Structure 1
Amino acid sequence: MSIAEPAAAPTTADAGSSSAISIRDLRVVYGVGDASRAVTAVEAVDLEVEEGSFVSLVGPSGCGKSTLLKVVADLLRPTSGHVAIGGRPPSAMREEGRVGFVFQQANLMPWLKARDNVSLLRRIVKGRGLAADRAVLDVDELLSVVGLEGFEDKRPSELSGGMQQRVALARALALDPNILLMDEPFAALDEITRERMAVELLRVWSRYRKTVLFVTHSLEEAVLLSDKVVLMAARPGRIHQIFDVSIPRPRDRETRLTDAFHETVREVSRELYKVMA
């Protein structure tokens, strides 16, 4: 399907520079050239993500979670509305390597070792002549932080699914981005590995304190990780409610056993049932 012509790029004044990510009156329509096929994926979305915070998007399938993430990443142009990262257009931030993205699949280069997969984006940015004035993170340090010390020279085929996602996370952090966008990065993992990876992500986030916008279908995962949980409703995709997660940090596996955790999950679940009714 085709996408509508993009809206004019927002100015800093339009977007508001006080937030790490600012989204105002966002609308995305697919198939706009054919009225019979046009689908409004996202409508009237306003969202402010504070610098250094962890925000999760949850909701039923088709509510526009991934669409919203792709707009912020400059992988998809909006039909109308404004999006800014630190007061600048997403396109400028993407071109400078200031937006990290982790997908559902690790998408590693199968012929490259873990160390080389992590440094791949750095080589691409260097090719654009942008590396000279950019602070970057040490590749071996990143691999150690994500739990892959000793696996630096392994190729993807020699790594488990969880290990591959660790490499993908390290790669997304390698250019020291301003924000980290994660689209269901643990969805393909088994439940035990998924829970372990969520705890590992908490540890990595605590170390680097990147602003994270995270898409998941798991309410428990969202509550464990996040400062705020954004519940979206479908047809068209819009924000139904934003929940503040007041559970103290640092969090770990034991957090899942607390009354506060279960009550927060129940609260989000009750509203999710409403939007699915």
Structure 2
Amino acid sequence: MSDAAIHPTAIVGQHARIGKGVKIGPYCIVGDKVILHDNVELVSHVVIDGNTEVGAGSRIFPFASVGLQPQDLKYHGENSRLVIGERCTIREGATLNPGTEGGGMLTKIGNDCLIMASAHVAHDAIIGNNVIMANYVGIAGHCQVGDNVIFGGNCVVHQFTRVGAHAFIGAHSMVDGDVIPYGMAVGNRAVLTGLNLVGLKRRKFDREEIHKLRAAYRMIFASEGTLRERVEDAAELFKGNALVQDVVAFIAAASDRPILLPRNGPTLD
């Protein structure tokens, strides 16, 4: 801890593990079991407790509550964990809770995530890399969020919901069904409104691969036959397209889960 810059008003547990270059600002509280890797910064008034690990280069802003007891009545003091990846930014008033015995004992945030002010990540949620949660987003317990997902402000996501990689969730949406990879969902209750084409183009996906994904989307969410039949047809027809296969695998992985569907068919702009 000799290399760390700790403000005299901060309270740091005797057994906390503090990496090189860590900055702990005024009035922060760091619990005994906390691990702060190199160059983590707690700006001020941060409370971080429990069996919590914060990856190198992450910054946590004032009044964030990180690693405290889950908001779950089934929690009975089990030694569950919260792991936050590298280079994450957690803004003012955000709340992140550890896991529970009923959900794998782990809440995990990937690398390079931005969790804006007053957002919430509940117990046992697994969040991928490069995820952006705008203000007041609420991720309920046991959710799974893939890489590069963007949530607009005031979104809420129902427990156990999966959101596939590169999806976009529009502001003020209430998501109570799984969102396919590369999909775009909006509304209360949310419906699938197409593919996140803007995100795909910004991330330099191949144009031809995007065209094939659009064709597969129309096939999967057409009205003829069952969803299972249409998914199987798309898997066969587009077997060489990695984007389509991501969608197919996502749907097949949890056939008992509700999945968001388009309200008026699969029309794409």
Both proteins in one fold, TM over 0.5: no
Give the TM-score, by structure 2 length: 0.26
**Structure 1 or 2: more strand by fraction:** 2
Instruction: Please say which structure displays the higher CA radius of gyration.
Output: 2
**Structure 1 or 2: more helix by fraction:** 1
